[in-house]
Chains A and B, each alone.
Chain A
């Protein structure tokens, strides 16, 4: 860890690339989790993640309070998500680019299409439940299960201590279990 976030932000403002990269390492999974929650799609989440950081470092000087960095970053991520969906909406009006080979003609390497569709459906349902949770609970859970981070990483990404994280995880997991559909029980 070494330096605190505030120090890193100060260095990043003066153009220190290493500090920027360290900030990215500390927060990218959190932002990714958030974006995945919003979009429900891993690829677009990653694209948006890059865009978010580009925007963030360009307007880093506008950040008033270094302590609010994560919140600010997530706000940018949300705006990026909103902009992206707006752009997609515009693009949909244009006809899709013609491809030489229809995607259906390529045989899938993973599980069978039916299975995949089922899993996707299930994922969307879980995501819907996660979205319905309060912000404080859903981010640790998203990080834990969707991003696959362990407790230490979650703490680093959220900037929380282990004790605080435990409480959040405990209550979040309980809420999640209560709201999840029946097939997750037992």
Chain B
């Protein structure tokens, strides 16, 4: 299972930490157990060896004594040799015992034993000299008994004491071993118990964290689902409201236009009636009814277009804006055959845009230039691209009537007009439409102008330009 989520790392760390702790504790317990086992084994072996040496001492002393007596009885020198051998054995065992340590009192006991043994040996040899000197075995035996008996008894007592001590030592070593084993067992039991407890703790912790994590991811999933659902709902609502809006605009367009058409057409029909023709004031008023109706129709058309622009999906493709501008300028020249306008279009302007919207935009901007250069002596319009703060910026410029920059904010509002409609007709919707087209392309539209010095409309596509960077130098106007 692959863990994910906010606690995953913590859970992994806990499990790994527990694992490391378990390994460390187990190896520590094992080592201490082994060490205890080994040291106890050594202690027991040492104590047993000393006990054996002690028994060897007693045995050698016994053999030495009986060999000595046998010589006295038989006069056979082989027994003397036996006695000497036993004595060697005794001294070796004694030396071993001395070498193998033991406490102070044991050492002094050994020295006393050695002393007594030497003395006994000397007494035996004294008796042997008597025997070799010709004394009877009985005489010598009596003498030997008399001289050696107390020494032998002392030596036996000391040896018995030593034996008892070494026996006690062995018992103590065994007991020590048992307690060391018990201790080691206790340590390992404690270790494993604490490991078990740690395991349970880690398990509980991990379980709790995992549950918390599951809960978090559940909550997250739920909230994600909820969010998606809400977005879906909103999208549906938005689509529905868009459809409604579309139906509404359609109805408005249809239902407002129908009575309007009756007004304008009836006015037109009435104007040509002889009875109206004979009354110039009446004729003028009826004509005004028709004109007002047509103007209202233009407003409806403009508003509809504005609202359509906001809803339509953009169909972006690589466009030749130069060609498009030339086409639009051609249409304008055809529509106003009486106008002579010098058109300059920078060649090779290509960009990603919606063709019908860009055509509309250029028609609005170039159309504006056409309209507002009507009174210029040498009307000139240009469409160029330049770089403003490293952003490709298009510019439609003319040398027409221009406008006062202080009214700049007004020309982008629907139905706002800076010029007399009688002089420069228009719906007042063209620039707001242009602005919306540019905005839908992710760009910015702005304008510069001065009364009598022409106007320049700038727009960017796909990148917005902050207000403070939209600057134009007055010289640009003179370029035209």
Chains A and B are bound partners: no
B residues in contact (CB < 8 Å) with A: none
A residues in contact (CB < 8 Å) with B: none
